[in-house]
C-alpha cells in the first residue's frame, strides 16, 4: 500500500510517500480502508520526535475514518463495510490501517466520512474542554485563542450552545469573519500577548471565567492576566514554544490552571462513545458545524504540514488517500 513515511526526523520535507507493508489485523483489531485522515499539530510534533511512542521509520497520523475490510480474532459487533472513525492510532497517513476495535466508533449513516474524520481529534478535544475542564454556563464569558482554527471554532460553537459569551482571538484580519461565523460575540485581532487590556475592557475590568489557550508559551501569562477570580486557564499549547514553568505563588488570586488532555478525560470506550455520540448529534441537529477547509493528496502531506505550521490555514485539514 501507499503511505506517508518518516525515515528521519525533521521538517515537512521528511514526509515522503512510499510503498509500505500492508497491515494485518491482529487479535481485537479491525483492518480499515482509510477514506480520510486528519492533519493535526500533534502530527507535526511527532515528525520531529515530540511524543513519538516508537522510533523511525514510522507512518504519522493518529486520526481518520474509513470502511472495515476485515477483522482479527475476538472482534465482535462489526461487519465488513461498516464505517468507523478513530483517534490516537498511529499510521493514519496511509491507504489502510489496523485499528484496535475498542478505539473506534461507528459512524452514523447521516454523518459523512470526511466530517467524521475531522471531528475526532479536534472535536473530542473541544468537547472535553467545555464539558470537563471548564464547563461554563449561561452568562459567563470565555476567551478563546485561535478562534478561527479547528479547535477554536469547535470550542466557540460548543460554548455558545451552553449559553456562554465568547471573546475570540485571531492572528490576522481575514480570520475575523471565520471566528464570527462560529459564533464569537467579539473578535480581537492579536499577536503574542497584546490582548489583555482589551479583554479587561470588554469585561468591565472583571476578566473572563475561562481561557482556552492553544497559543503556546508566549500567551500563557497574558492569558492568566485576563482571568477573573476563580477563573480557569485551559492550556493546550506545549507544541508551540517552550513549556512555561509555574510557581504556585506566581499565580494571582484563586485561579485554576489545567493542561487538559482528552485521553485522561475520555479514558474508556464508554466515554469515547458518549462524547463522540454527543458531537455527532450536535452536528446532526445543526448546532455544530465542522469546517473542512483543505483536502490534500498523500503526496502533499509535506505541504499540509508547512501550511499548518505557518498558520496560513483555518478550520480542519484532511488527507485523502484516494487522490
Give the model confidence (pLDDT) of 22-43 as tens digits.
Answer: 999 999 999 999 999 999 988 9
Q: Please state, in angstroms and rounded to a whole number, the distance separating the CA atoms of residues 76 and 32.
A: 15
Percent of the chain with pLDDT over 90: 80
CA distance 20 to 145: 38
Query: Does the bond joining 255 to the residue before it have cis omega, within 30 degrees of 0?
Result: no
Task: Render pLDDT for 94-126 as a digit per residue (tens, 0 to 9).
Answer: 999 999 999 999 999 999 999 999 999 999 999
Helix, strand, or coil here: 70? Answer: strand
Task: Evaluate whether 92 touches 63 at the Cβ level (below 8 Å).
Answer: yes
Under 8 Å between Cβ of 12 and 79? no
| DSSP state letters, 139-179 | T-EEEETTTTBHHHHHHHHHHHHTT-EEEEEESSGGGHHHH
Give the span between the Cα atoms of 321 and 94, in whole angstroms: 6
Number of Cβ within 10 Å of residue 219's Cβ equals: 27
> In 3D, which of 316, 281, 273 has the Cα closest to residue 296?
316
Structure-block grid coordinates of residue 152: 477554536
Q: Are 50 and 44 in contact (CB under 8 A)?
A: no
What pLDDT is recorded for position 257? 93
Distance (Å, whole) CA 115 – CA 36: 9
Across residues 171-195, what is the average pLDDT?
92
Q: For cell 462513545, name the residue.
A: 273
Those residues whose C-beta lies under 8 Å from the C-beta of residue 51, and which sit 6 or more positions away, are: 42, 45
Across the range 5-33, mean pLDDT stands at 97
β-strands 15-19, 2-6: how paired?
Answer: antiparallel
DSSP secondary structure letter of residue 288: -
pLDDT of residue 66: 98
- Minimum mean pLDDT among 53-62, 73-82, 110-119, 239-248: which range? 239-248
Q: Collapsing DSSP states into helix, strand and coil, what is residue 275? A: helix
CA 144 to chain centre: 14
- Residue 75: C-alpha distances to residues 56, 102, 109 (Å): 30, 9, 22
Shortest CA distance to 44 belongs to which of 301, 321, 297, 220? 301
Specify the pLDDT at position 192.
73
Judge whether residue 246 has pLDDT over 90. Answer: no
Nearest to 25 by CA among 86, 77, 69, 82: 69
Q: Find the Cα–Cα–Cα–Cα dihedral 200, 142, 119, 174, rounded to 10°.
A: -30
Region 245-252: mean pLDDT is 85
Strands 227-235 and 256-259: parallel
Closest-CA residue to 221 (of 202, 243, 201): 243
Q: What is the pTM of this model?
A: 0.93
Amino acid at each position: 500500500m501507499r503511505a506517508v513515511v518518516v525515515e528521519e526526523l525533521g521538517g515537512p520535507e521528511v514526509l515522503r510517500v512510499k510503498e509500505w507493508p500492508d497491515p494485518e489485523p491482529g487479535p481485537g483489531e479491525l483492518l480499515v480502508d482509510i477514506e480520510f485522515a486528519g492533519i493535526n499539530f500533534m502530527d507535526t510534533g511527532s515528525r520531529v520526535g515530540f511524543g513519538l511512542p516508537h522510533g523511525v521509520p514510522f507512518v504519522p497520523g493518529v486520526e481518520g475514518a474509513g470502511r472495515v475490510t476485515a477483522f482479527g480474532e475476538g472482534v465482535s459487533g462489526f461487519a465488513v463495510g461498516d464505517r468507523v472513525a478513530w483517534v490516537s492510532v498511529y499510521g493514519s497517513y496511509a491507504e489502510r490501517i489496523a485499528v484496535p476495535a475498542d478505539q473506534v466508533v461507528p459512524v452514523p449513516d447521516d454523518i459523512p466520512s470526511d466530517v467524521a474524520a475531522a471531528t475526532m481529534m479536534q472535536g473530542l478535544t473541544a468537547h472535553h474542554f467545555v464539558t470537563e475542564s471548564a464547563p461554563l454556563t449561561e452568562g459567563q464569558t470565555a476567551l478563546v485563542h485561535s478562534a478561527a482554527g479547528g479547535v477554536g471554532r469547535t470550542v466557540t460553537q460548543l460554548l455558545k450552545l451552553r449559553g456562554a459569551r465568547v471573546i475570540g482571538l485571531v492572528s490576522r484580519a481575514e480570520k475575523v469573519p471565520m471566528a464570527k461565523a462560529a459564533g464569537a460575540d467579539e473578535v480581537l485581532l492579536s499577536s503574542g500577548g497584546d490582548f489583555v487590556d482589551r479583554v479587561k475592557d470588554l469585561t468591565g475590568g472583571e476578566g473572563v471565567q475561562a481561557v482556552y489557550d492553544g497559543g503556546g508559551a508566549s500567551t500563557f501569562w497574558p492569558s492568566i492576566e485576563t482571568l477573573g477570580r476563580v477563573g480557569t486557564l485551559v492550556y493546550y499549547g506545549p507544541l508551540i514554544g517552550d513549556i512555561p514553568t509555574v510557581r504556585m505563588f506566581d499565580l494571582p488570586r484563586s485561579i485554576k490552571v489545567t493542561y487538559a488532555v482528552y485521553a485522561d478525560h475520555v479514558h474508556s470506550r464508554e466515554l469515547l462513545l458518549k462524547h463522540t455520540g454527543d458531537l455527532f448529534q450536535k452536528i446532526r441537529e445543526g448546532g455544530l458545524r465542522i469546517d473542512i477547509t483543505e483536502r490534500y493528496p498523500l503526496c502533499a502531506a509535506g505541504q499540509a504540514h508547512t501550511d499548518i505550521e505557518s498558520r496560513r490555514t483555518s478550520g480542519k485539514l484532511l488527507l485523502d488517500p484516494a487522490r
